[in-house]
Amino acid sequence: MGDRIGLIVNPSAGRDIRRLTGGATVVDNYAKRRVAECVLEGLQAVSNPPEALLMPDTAGIAASAAEESPDVETALLDLPIEGTAADTRRAAARFRAETDAIVVLGGDGTSRDTALECGDVPLLSVSTGTNNVVPTAIDGTLAGAAAALIATGGVDAEAVTTHHGMVEARTTSDERVTGLASVELSDRTFIGTRAMIDPADLAGGIVSRANPADIGLSSVAGAFGSLAPDDPDAVGLRLADAETAPQTATAVVAPGMVADLGVEERRRLSPDESMTVDVTEGVLGADGERELEVVDEVVAFRALDSGPRLVSFEAFFEETAQSGLFAHR
């Protein structure tokens, strides 16, 4: 097998109800296609560009991008498409065996679905979604150039990747929700529009990273101290009414939404620890999207050690500057 990169574009990312309820940016399919085209163009930063394998999608974004990039060898995966997150997971599983680097265009949810199946293949996550704690807001051309150099061995992947943590909630009936940045518990009784849109609904959860510059539950935890994405620990939170809680956190809970949330308990959890919560009625979500209705369950939150090898663009371009990879005589 020659050098290859995989490209995943989620046509549903960046289009949920938070465009109406908050200040989330609209990222339409035309914009995603243009970013995808830029990724393919960026592959030409190396003298022998890797082949690009693209996940097909219901909106035809990948097919159009490939058609507009005649100077790069491209191919669409032979993959059944359902228009669900399962498409991303199936594509990531194929890319794990067939590519040397994966570029994903989407938000935290798309990156999570890719991470669940991509194994140790370096992951370059580009922000085109709603919750963008993990993905980087970077030009697609730069992402393509980085992917090309990593895939062809021009840059040592070990030097520019970090092992990003993941977190999980498991019920007593053995149902699970896995998150890349966070798993949230809300006190709503139904999934509804899926997007977490009302800060008052949040009852707690767990995060794999924490920083005030993040969004959602990671921002809440970050009000009290940072947790690096490659730290094996996690932070568990129980939230309460801000008027009666012993602590409060001012946090960006969603794009365009700042709120003061009461924090009843905040615990740093090592990989062998868990935090349990008795839930009468609620919904578990991952990375800002509600997924599982829970009734009369004990939910255990814990850190996972199976996260992806996420490319740090900052580290990558520092490495290229130090080594002079783009400087020629």
Residue-wise pLDDT for 72-83, tens only, equals: 999 999 999 999
- The residue range of the domain holding 280 is 166-304
Bridge partner list, 329: none
Looking up tokens 């030009």 gives 139
Structural domains in the chain (count): 2
In-domain check, residue 55: yes
pLDDT, average across residues 57-85? 94
Decide: helix, strand or coil at residue 158.
helix
pLDDT the model gives residue 20: 41
In-domain check, residue 125: yes
In-domain check, residue 86: yes
Q: Are residues 177 and 220 in the same domain?
A: yes
State yes or no: pLDDT of 239 exceeds 90: yes
Residue 282 belongs to a domain with what CATH number? 2.60.200
Residue 37 belongs to a domain with what CATH number? 3.40.50.10330
Q: Which is it for strands 257-269 and 274-286: parallel, antiparallel or unpaired?
A: unpaired
Looking up tokens 């005030």 gives 212
Q: Are residues 147 and 8 in the same domain?
A: yes
The amino acid that residue 245 corresponds to is A
Global pTM?
0.91
- Residue pair 24/53 in contact (Cβ under 8 Å)? The answer is no
The HSE-up count of residue 226 (CA atoms within 13 Å, CB side) is: 7
What mean pLDDT, rounded, does the chain reach? 91
* Overall size of the chain counted in residues: 329
In-domain check, residue 329: no
Q: Give dist(CA 302, CA 321) in Å, integer.
A: 39
- Residue pair 77/5 in contact (Cβ under 8 Å)? The answer is no
pLDDT the model gives residue 289: 87
Phi, psi of 201 (to 5 degrees): -75, -25
Percent share of the chain, pLDDT over 90: 81
The HSE-up count of residue 183 (CA atoms within 13 Å, CB side) is: 27
Q: Are residues 176 and 290 in the same domain?
A: yes
- Residue pair 77/94 in contact (Cβ under 8 Å)? The answer is yes
In-domain check, residue 252: yes
Taking only the tens place, the pLDDT of each residue in 208-233 is: 999 999 999 999 999 999 999 999 99
